[in-house]
Chains A and B, each alone.
Chain A
Amino acid sequence: MTKIFGICLDLKPETVITVSGFLLCNTLKTIGEGLSQSGYSKIYLFLKGPAVLLECSGKIQRIVNPFLDLGLEVEILYCSSALKEYEVIVAEDRIAGLGTWVELCLKAPTFDFTAPQIIQSFICITSSPDHGNFNLQLDLALASALFDTEPTIVLMGEANQVKTAKYLNTANAKKLDGAKHYGVIRVVHEDVLSSLIDNLGFDVRIVNVHNFKNNGFWHTIFKTPPLKIEDALYPINQSTRFVLV
């Protein structure tokens, strides 16, 4: 099994040269070290939103170099429905997507993201119910649902424990039960997504992907808890997965 890791960047090029950008690069370096030690050989770097301008502004090297220094191969992919708006010209085989688009972009890298897509809205919860991030991710999901996005909550990895007897009467489980009152359509197991990609030869995980419709176009936003450098990131020693920064 090829061990590939995906990172999505959604930031303006000018951010790279700020303190936030410096911290981000350090975070990416930390991720890279973890990946290198865990046997990963390649990284897909998804450029999302204004990040598609990173490469043409030359600032992408600040992000890519730490990975290259660690011996990791980096493939840059463009994940935006507004390439024309940003006046970025990209070879078709470098246009890709995340979330429910993962299957499409891997099977058909030339998938046209400039056209409106009717796709479901998924919000993924990944943390263990024992961890504070679970509540944070659930709050994000509920807050999104309140905006009439009618999302489906996808429980992934350790988050599935919330459905076990051990957590049955905990505040987190009860809060999840009340999600329907916020407009959440349903709460499902990650197999719903995994089944989309079973035939692709490697495992892909998605973290907090949320699609919304605006002016007739579907957009995707990504919500993760604030990352701190000293925090343990997502478990990266088991399977291929995507982390969004």
Chain B
Amino acid sequence: MSLMSEAEWSLEWSRQQSIILDLFWCDHLQILVKLCRQFYLDYAHSPNTRVLIKYFQSHYDVDCNSIQLQLLLKGNPAVVLARLAGIPKPKQCF
């Protein structure tokens, strides 16, 4: 999944992806997807799960931990969120 431009990407597109992935498209997930995309736009690389959680917690007062994310996303949170956010798949090992 490669980066989609701002014009191409939308929450509706993400919602459709979430249906394909059999995910529950809730408000919480929408926020995480937006933040994930924002991280990419700000820092020019896709974050891994641990960094995402730190980013969520330190900047946006979003309550999440890795267990919650795994339950919500049914897989590797960073990879799934990257797909929903339309950004490149994160490198799992630096």
Contact = CB atoms under 8 A, between A and B. Distances in A.
Given A140-B94, A178-B39, A181-B55, A146 B50 contact: yes
A178 B50 contact: no
Interface in A147-204: 170-172, 174-175, 177-178, 181-183
Given A140-B94, A181-B54, 17 more contacts: A139-B91, A142-B94, A146-B48, A146-B50, A170-B44, A172-B44, A174-B42, A174-B44, A175-B43, A175-B45, A177-B42, A178-B39, A178-B44, A178-B47, A181-B39, A181-B55, A182-B54
Contacts of B91: 139
Interface residues of A, number: 15
Interface of B: 39, 42-45, 47-48, 50-51, 54-55, 58, 91, 93-94
Contacts of B39: 178, 181
A88 interface: no
Interface in A85-121: none
B42 A178 contact: yes
Nearest to B56: A181
A172 B44 CA distance: 8
A221 interface: no
A118 B83 CA distance: 43
A171 B45 contact: yes
A23 interface: no
